[in-house]
Amino acid sequence: MLFKQQAWLRQKLLVLGSLAVGSLLYLVARVGSLDRLQPICPIEGRLGGAHSQAEFPLRALQFKRGLLHEFRKGNASKEQVRLHDLVQQLPKAIIIGVRKGGTRALLEMLNLHPAVVKASQEIHFFDNDENYGKGIEWYRKKMPFSYPQQITIEKSPAYFITEEVPERIYKMNSSIKLLIIVREPTTRAISDYTQVLEGKERKNKTYYKFEKLAIDPNTCEVNTKYKAVRTSIYTKHLERWLKYFPIEQFHVVDGDRLITEPLPELQLVEKFLNLPPRISQYNLYFNATRGFYCLRFNIIFNKCLAGSKGRIHPEVDPSVITKLRKFFHPFNQKFYQITGRTLNWP
Q: Where are the alpha helices (DSSP H) in the chain?
A: 2-34, 58-65, 67-72, 78-83, 103-110, 129-133, 136-141, 165-172, 185-202, 210-214, 227-231, 234-241, 255-260, 262-272, 318-339
Binding string to ligand A3P for residues 273 to 292, with x set by CB under 6 A, is what? -------------------x
| CA–CA gap between residue 280 and residue 263 (Å, rounded) | 7
- 100 classed as catalytic: yes
Strand pairing category for 151-155 and 177-182: unpaired
Closest distance between ligand A3P and the C-beta of residue 37, in Å?
A: 24
104 binds ligand A3P (CB under 6 A): yes
103 binds ligand A3P (CB under 6 A): yes
State the helix-helix crossing angle for 103-110 and 262-272, rounded to 10 degrees: 70
Kindly identify the residues of this chain, within the stretch 218-277, that bind ligand A3P according to CB under 6 A: 258-259
Strand partners, 154: 94
Q: Which is nearer to ligand A3P, 104 or 296 (CB)?
A: 104
Task: Write the CA distances from 167 to 112, 170, 173, 212, integer angstroms.
Answer: 30, 5, 10, 35
Q: Which of 100, 118, 177, 323 is flagged as catalytic? A: 100
185 binds ligand A3P (CB under 6 A): no
Kindly identify the residues of this chain, within the stretch 190-209, that bind ligand A3P according to CB under 6 A: 191
186 binds ligand A3P (CB under 6 A): no
SS3 of 94, please? Answer: strand
Of 59, 141, 212, 311, which lies in the binding site for ligand A3P, with binding defined by CB under 6 A? Answer: 311
132 binds ligand A3P (CB under 6 A): no
| CA–CA gap between residue 35 and residue 279 (Å, rounded) | 9
Which residues are annotated as part of the binding site? 100-104, 183, 191, 293, 309-313
As annotated, the active-site residues are 100
Which residues are annotated as part of the binding site for 3'-phosphoadenylyl sulfate? 100-104, 183, 191, 293, 309-313
Q: Which residues lie near ligand A3P (CB under 6 A)?
A: 99-105, 157, 191, 258-259, 292-293, 305, 309-311
